[in-house]
Amino acid sequence: MKQCTKCKQTKAPTEFYKHRSRRDGLYVHCKVCVYAIRSKQKKYEPDYSKKKQCNKCKQTKAPTEFPKKSVNRDGLDARCKVCCNAADRDLRIIKRFMR
Ligand SMILES: [Zn+2]
Ligand SMILES: [Zn+2]
């Protein structure tokens, strides 16, 4: 038997999802709690029919030019892939100088 860290109920191991990196091989939350957590998180799927304007370079591009971001309303990052990559590169350069 295993206790769920969320609802504090002791349940059979079959009531828990498997989790490979955990010591007992099981998730800390029971299936019911995992399901409750998952259904609460709203995920947005990208709408590939509409073009989107990047809020960095202000260019209107196809949705496929934006990285996916399911937490955003339109399912896409506010910045296009090019801008995201550029920002990553800048960050790496800044980090190098910080050291
Ligand atoms: Zn639970
Ligand atoms: Zn851009």
Could you tell me if residue 10 is left (phi over 0), alpha (psi between -120 and 50 degrees) or otherwise beta?
beta
- Average pLDDT, stretch 76-82? 96
State the DSSP code for 76. B
Q: In this structure, which ligand is nearest to the CA of 80? A: 2
What is the pLDDT at residue 60?
97
Residue 47 within a domain: no
Grade residue 64 by pLDDT with cuts at 50, 70 and 90: very high
Residues 92 and 69 in one domain: yes
Residues 60 and 34 in one domain: no
**Residue 65, token pair as written in the block:** 């030019």
Residues 60 and 82 in one domain: yes
Residue 35 within a domain: yes
Residue 45 within a domain: no
23 CA from centroid of ligand 1 (Å): 18
Question: In the predicted model, is pLDDT for residue 62 greater than 90?
Answer: yes
Question: In the predicted model, is pLDDT for residue 99 greater than 90?
Answer: no
Q: In this structure, which ligand is nearest to the CA of 26? A: 1
Residues 65 and 33 in one domain: no
Q: In this structure, which ligand is nearest to the CA of 59? A: 2
Considering the entire predicted model, what is its pTM? Answer: 0.56
| Residue 76: burial class (beta carbons within 10 Å; 0-12, 13-18, 19+) | buried
Could you list the residue range(s) of the whole structural domain that residue 11 is in? 2-40
Side-chain half-sphere of 7: how many Cα atoms within 13 Å?
Answer: 15
Beta carbons of 69 and 43 less than 8 angstroms apart: no
30 CA from centroid of ligand 1 (Å): 4
The residue whose two tokens read 């050291």 is 99
Number of domains in the chain: 2
pLDDT one-digit tens code per residue, 9-40: 999 999 999 999 999 999 999 999 999 988 88
